[in-house]
Amino acid sequence: MKRNIAFLILGAITVTMISLKMNREIDLSWWWVFAPLWIPFAMFIITMLILAILFSTK
């Protein structure tokens, strides 16, 4: 349930930032407009890589 709420919040933030960008209310790069979507994914990938490195050593 908490995961669904997190996705809803991230989606709402992303939609809000897209609408602000399209209405020229904010002057951010598209990378930052979509940051609520790619930053959690990047953090997950980095965490998995670190865990794989830590648990692969014998």
Per-residue pLDDT tens over the stretch 23-50: 999 999 999 999 999 999 999 999 999 9
Q: Alpha-carbon distance 10 to 4, whole Å?
A: 10
**Structural domain containing residue 28:** 2-56
Q: Residue 1 is which amino acid?
A: M
Q: Residue 34 is which amino acid?
A: F
With pLDDT > 90 as the criterion, what percentage of the chain qualifies?
Answer: 84
pTM attached to this predicted model: 0.75
Number of structural domains found in the chain = 1
Quote the longest CA-to-CA distance of the chain.
55
The two three-digit tokens of residue 1, written as one number: 């349930």
